[in-house]
């Protein structure tokens, strides 16, 4: 994930949960320390996140309809899920991801 992609993700996640996210909010989502975490996010918005934070953000991105559901989370296209139920199950999964973001933000 690049810096501009992280900036876009912050806006997209804010849209998904219905409130704008600050750099401090993004730091909280990544589990960074309060205070200096916002500065880290602002640096990452230039250079891109590193290590586990980048992977966590890719997972949290699934809360937004603008990002695909990652293959190892996509249990909706299996043969045992009827075709007509798949859109509702995807929507339910995205809502669960949004709730996880809200929970992490407190």
Q: How many structural domains comprise the chain?
A: 1
Going residue by residue through the chain (106 aa), what tens digit of pLDDT does each one get?
999 999 999 999 999 999 999 999 999 999 988 888 889 999 999 999 988 999 999 999 999 999 998 888 877 777 778 889 989 989 999 999 999 999 999 8
Domain that residue 91 falls in: 3-105
Name the nearest CA neighbour of 61 among 3, 19, 4, 16: 16
Residue 59 contacts residue 7 (beta carbons within 8 Å): no
- DSSP 8-state symbol, 33: P
Name the nearest CA neighbour of 47 among 86, 15, 4, 94: 4
CA distances from 6 to 26, 27, 68, 75 (A): 10, 12, 15, 26
């Amino acid at each position: 994930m690049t810096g501009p992609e992280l900036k876009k993700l912050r806006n997209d996640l804010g849209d998904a949960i219905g409130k704008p996210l600050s750099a401090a909010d993004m730091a909280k989502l990544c589990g960074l320390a309060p205070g200096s975490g916002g500065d880290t996010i602002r640096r990452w918005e230039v250079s891109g996140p590193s290590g586990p934070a980048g992977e966590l953000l890719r997972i949290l991105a699934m809360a937004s309809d603008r990002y695909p559901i990652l293959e190892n989370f996509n249990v909706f296209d299996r043969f045992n899920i009827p075709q007509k139920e798949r859109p509702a199950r995807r929507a339910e999964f995205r809502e669960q991801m949004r709730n996880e973001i809200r929970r992490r933000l407190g």
